[in-house]
Structure 1
Amino acid sequence: MNRPLPGVLHTPGFAHYGIAWSPFHNNRLALASSANYGLVGNGRLHIVGLGLGPGGLPQPGIDKFYETQDGLYDAAWSEIHENQLVTASGDGSIKLWDVMIKVGSARISDLPIRAWQEHTREVFSVDWSNIAKDQFISSSWDGTVKLWTPDRPRSLTTLQAHPSCVYQALFSPHQPDTVATCSTDGTVRIFDLRSPAYMPSAPGANSFTAPLAAAALTIPASGGEVLTLDWNKYRPWLLASAGVDKAIKVWDCRMVKLGPDAAQNPAVGGVCEAHLAGHEYAVRKVQWSPHRPDVIASASYDMTCRVWSTTPQPGAGHLLYIHDPHTEFVVGCGWSLYDEGVLASCSWDCRLNVFRV
């Protein structure tokens, strides 16, 4: 099930954690990396440009990189400024970078244009809204999700989303005030930022000093940790989750069950539409295709990146493709927003692969 070798970018000494394709440029992506597998040491943000290699395959190369004092776990491009992006760091900080600002060398700088330090533990994900384009969110091991805008010195809202680590938080691509989260507690939760539950009730209270907690919907997605999720780009209330149970599950969030104490406790629901099994170890990343409503990519600790269809294919089942040149955990994958079928994967083997499925 393998294809010819893809374009490969090797960054010795820096294991990868996350990739993000630019929403403005079809040949640019960001790569969040960490020294010593993210356990201790510096981080590095690589700005990667794509050219054409042998056989017409995409060939990635480093246009610029930024050094940070702690490891980087994720990156997200701005939806309003083509040259800006934010990163999530192991020291709890969030930094905003402008790739056109040159300080010293044309290839290396370590100066963000803005930084925030509110999370008390590692920030593990950042996501920029593609509807409310002046806002982004972050999730942290401190159990909170924070809403930000680049021109404010403090967060706009803090959600006490889960009792423990929040691995990922994502805006819905269809509803600007809807956010989904996943956590070590085995649940996926949906938050509606328009809910009265998010309005401060005590005199002088605000969401910075009194975090908000009420989820609109809780999905008991797994008996173990849920490491990743993603919204379907075509069906508004469909999302996928995956984690340590090695399975990818597709949920319809419209199915809600209200208990007798619904006023005090969040609704519980979600119907599992598909159960995609095949990975041998935990699934670290899932992402729906931006071009087809039934195709999803996954990255796993079994050192593979896989592509699935939620509609079984004759003679093939749900699994469409396996990409296995990596020699360490594959922790990130991302579809090109402009070129259908082009997928990128990143790994602890310090290699970014860009290939056509």
Structure 2
Amino acid sequence: MSASTIHTTGFAHYSLAWSPFFPNRLAIASSANYGLIGNGRVHIASMGPPPTAPSLNVEKFYPTQDGLFDVAWSEVHENQLVTSSGDGSIRLWDVTLNVRLDLPIRIWQEHTKEVFSVDWSNVRKDSFASSSWDGTVKIWTPEIQHSVSTIHAHTGCVYQALFSPHQADLIASCSADGTLKIFDLRAPAFLPSAAATHASAPALTVPACVGAELLTLDWNKYRPFVLASAGTDKRVRVWDCRMLKTGPGVGDASVGGAVGGVCETDLLGHEYAVRKLQWSPHRADVLASASYDMTCRIWTTNPPPGQPQLMRIHDAHTEFVVGCAWSLFEEGLLASCSWDCRVNLFRV
């Protein structure tokens, strides 16, 4: 085992996230039996000083009764994080508490199916979002025992929902229906008093993956309204969502709104479905992708003349690669996680 790998035997990884407060701290969401049945764990890992390569060590872990699919650090409390679970629950943890207690400090149970993603807003730092296979996206604050808003976003599984890093009231989601949707939380339907039970009108619908499932998306950190998306069609696409056309929502004709989005870049190379995307927090043109083809790939959308857009292929994993995350503090440092129960750190 290399110095830049940790192996959590028996627990396949689904997601990982760097702490926004501590440059050497990493959280990993894991599941036994590949998330099909059994327990879960959230691992807290630390990165040691790099003599030649960064070293990773698991500091502690917290067990759960069902598999974990995603994890997000709090933007207001340096020792807290949330996890999403296959039993439909969301749990808030404090990593300073005694690991033997095995207890979260709060549990929310509103989703009726698996919760596949959680995301903490880095603009409105008291809010986080969850998305579920029940077709909804919910907005939460840690102090309140119930969700503050529910978006009936898609007709199929909502694989991911992310707050805009530029505007506090915008959230994007992607789904099994092949669409990318952007919602404006200032719309009357999303106010806490609305309690809508029907489909929620998006501000914009992008038909990003026609005839296939859209599994992942990410907002560009430097270019507002530019997003990347990918799914089961194996293609990574970059969208400029400022280009609009009025009309009914694609894939949901009963819902009004704008349809648009111009594909700036179409990145080809993955051999199987792409499960995770993340733009670099340090460069506007660098994007990482993780795929069922057991690779993590790094792309540039602005290559030098005559150079390819594919910068690197990391193929050290031996199972599906389902997560990747750029370090927020060290440019070019990327973590990847896989169903092979390993987390790899490498520099681009």
Bin the TM-score by the shorter chain: over 0.9
Q: Report if aligned partners of 1:197, 1:212 keep a CA contact under 8 Å in 2.
A: no
Any unmatched runs of 5+ in structure 1? none
1:147 — aligned with what?
A: 139
Any unmatched runs of 5+ in structure 2? none
2:16 — aligned with what?
A: 19
Residue 156 of structure 1 aligns with an amino acid whose one-letter code is: V
User: What does 1:185-204 correspond to in 2, within 5 Å?
Assistant: 185-199=177-191
Provide the C-alpha distance between the structure 2 equivalents of 1:173 and 1:152, rounded to a whole number of angstroms: 23
Q: How many residues are treated as equivalent by the alignment?
A: 344
Q: Deviation of residue 6 (structure 1)?
A: 6.1
1:52-87 per-position Cα deviation (integer Å, ceiling 9, x unaligned):
35x421111011100000000000000000000000
Selected match of 1:282 from 263, 273, 281: 273
Structure 1 position 330 matched with structure 2 position 317: no
1:287-314 per-position Cα deviation (integer Å, ceiling 9, x unaligned):
0000000000000000000100001334
Q: Deviation of residue 5 (structure 1)?
A: 5.7
Q: Deviation of residue 210 (structure 1)?
A: 2.9
1:102 — aligned with what?
A: 98
2:206 — aligned with what?
A: 219
Secondary structure at the residue paired with 1:56? coil
Q: Deviation of residue 35 (structure 1)?
A: 0.2
Q: Deviation of residue 317 (structure 1)?
A: 1.1
Q: Report if aligned partners of 2:39, 2:63 keep a CA contact under 8 Å in 1.
A: yes
Structure 1 position 163 matched with structure 2 position 155: yes
Q: Report if aligned partners of 1:198, 1:212 keep a CA contact under 8 Å in 2.
A: no
1:252 — aligned with what?
A: 240
User: What does 1:65-104 correspond to in 2, within 5 Å?
Assistant: 65-102=61-98, 104=100
Secondary structure at the residue paired with 2:303? strand
Q: Report if aligned partners of 1:16, 1:33 keep a CA contact under 8 Å in 2.
A: yes
1:301 — aligned with what?
A: 292
Q: Report if aligned partners of 2:188, 2:194 keep a CA contact under 8 Å in 1.
A: no
Selected match of 1:134 from 119, 126, 129: 126
Residue 232 of structure 2 aligns with an amino acid whose one-letter code is: V
Residue 47 of structure 1 aligns with an amino acid whose one-letter code is: I
Provide the C-alpha distance between the structure 1 equivalents of 2:6 and 2:307, rounded to a whole number of angstroms: 31
1:233 — aligned with what?
A: 221
2:346 — aligned with what?
A: 355
Provide the C-alpha distance between the structure 1 equivalents of 2:191 and 2:302, rounded to a whole number of angstroms: 42
Q: Deviation of residue 116 (structure 1)?
A: 0.2
Provide the C-alpha distance between the structure 2 equivalents of 1:190 and 1:41, rounded to a whole number of angstroms: 34
1:116-174 per-position Cα deviation (integer Å, ceiling 9, x unaligned):
00000000000000011000000000000000000000000000000110000000000
Provide the C-alpha distance between the structure 2 equivalents of 1:30 and 1:103, rounded to a whole number of angstroms: 15
Structure 1 position 313 matched with structure 2 position 304: yes
Q: Deviation of residue 212 (structure 1)?
A: 5.6
Identical positions, percent: 67
Provide the C-alpha distance between the structure 2 equivalents of 1:171 and 1:57, rounded to a whole number of angstroms: 33
Structure 1 position 119 matched with structure 2 position 103: no
Q: Report if aligned partners of 1:89, 1:123 keep a CA contact under 8 Å in 2.
A: yes
- Aligned residues: CA RMSD: 1.8
TM-score normalised per structure 1 = 0.93
Q: Using a 3 Å threshold, how does the CA distance of structure 1 residues 264 and 114 change in structure 2: closer, same or farther?
A: closer
Provide the C-alpha distance between the structure 2 equivalents of 1:59 and 1:185, rounded to a whole number of angstroms: 40
Residue 129 of structure 1 aligns with an amino acid whose one-letter code is: S
TM-score normalised per structure 2 = 0.95
